[in-house]
Amino acid sequence: MKFLDLFGKTRTHPLRDVREPSRPGLSADERRATTRKIDAIESDIASEIASEIASEIAPGIEPALAAGPVALLRQRIEEATLLHASGQSAAAAALLAEATAAPVPDDAPAEQRAWLMRLELAGFAGAQARFEDIALGYARRFETSPPQWRSPQAPAGDDESSIPAVGFRGRLCASAQPALARLAQVASRHDRFSLDLAGVTEVDVGGSRLLLELLHRWRGEGRHVECIAIDSLLGLLRQQLSEGRRDRDDAAWRLLIELLAAGGRTEEHEDACLAYSLTYEVSPPAGSTPTACAPPGVGRPGYLLLPAEIRCPVDDTLERIRGAGRAADAIVLDCRRLQRIEFGAAAPMLAGIRRVAGGKPVEWCDVPCLVSTLLQLVGDDAMSIAHRKP
């Protein structure tokens, strides 16, 4: 069975969640048992396919087809994706290094994706020196800033509750400086933490300036801060602002723009930047831009932080997704830690998500290119995927 026959662009039969319809005579427990058996069969078949693919695309074997540079690059990207998914990340890195050895100007997006995959593999391996070397080549090739090194993520299986949280409660005013100083002292023990702003009851320009300065300081120190439960504070800030009214101090405007950017609210952020520019007749504040997708916050219905790896069996992961989406209108899968979905787990995972979602929209956020390419190979075009921003 050839790779291109399985996942080529001309395939006419994408993988589907094929199951027998429930028979009226079966109990709920019997139907669940049948579903588990079908998932196990699918997993075994997928694992056999993965082994066959891995043997066919081993390093050193020339492609069977005489393809042009563009077609060969795309094929190498898919092959590297499957190698990584099959646990052969070193072979995937070597294949991508060979594929990007010479520029392919006829398909710059695909070439850039291949470079990003190389950076991801170096990051997953914790090889910072190799990452920096690849980043330098990326910058030279595309004449743009390369992605920045990310510290290794928490071990697989950790959940969002392991992230320390600090919070501010009460009046965010100029007199709140001592309270913010205590908050900064507590936060100084952590390189990554959540800042809970649900308890803010009042805000003025002086308090806006103090919080804004603290956020900028943390960013300058390289700390990863997630502002959560910001809706109430956003509402308080908007009550004080009026487009066209040029206040003497623009700190409230700048805090509003900062929080909208940190929350990934792209449209609201753009509207606020435009209103600020029209009001003050200057460019909006620099420094923060909206993320491709930001997690909606700890504890909100529909949100789930995925682990670093997803392997067979996928039942436990699907149950967590079912639980997260039970009281929500949509499901958001936060993939900031996700590094690999095992090849044999990919199809059962996607089929299971469609089943447990029950028609609700599912969004994959902050997805690495290696994972998103796998999802596209074994999935369909109906998924909403926000790629990890370079």
Angstrom distance (rounded) from CA 43 to CA 311: 10
For the chain, the domains span 3-142, 164-280, 303-387
303-387: same fold as 164-280? yes
Angstrom distance (rounded) from CA 184 to CA 164: 13
Q: pLDDT tens digits for the chain (390 residues)?
A: 444 444 444 444 443 444 444 445 566 666 666 666 666 665 566 555 555 555 554 444 454 344 588 899 999 999 999 999 999 999 999 999 999 999 988 888 999 999 999 999 999 998 989 999 999 999 899 888 778 777 665 444 444 445 688 888 899 999 999 999 988 888 888 888 888 888 899 999 999 999 999 998 988 887 888 888 888 999 999 999 988 899 889 999 999 998 888 776 778 888 888 899 889 888 877 655 544 444 545 446 788 889 999 999 999 999 989 888 888 888 999 898 899 999 999 999 999 999 999 889 998 988 999 999 999 998 865 567 777 655
The pLDDT of residue 29: 65
Architecture of domain 164-280 in this structure: 2-Layer Sandwich (3.30)
Angle, helix 89-99 to helix 69-85, in steps of 10 degrees? 170
The pLDDT of residue 219: 81
Architecture of domain 303-387 in this structure: 2-Layer Sandwich (3.30)
Buried-state track 199-219, b at ≥16 Cβ within 10 A, e below 16: ebeebbbbbbbbbbebbeebe
Tell me, yes or no, if the pTM score tops 0.85.
Answer: no
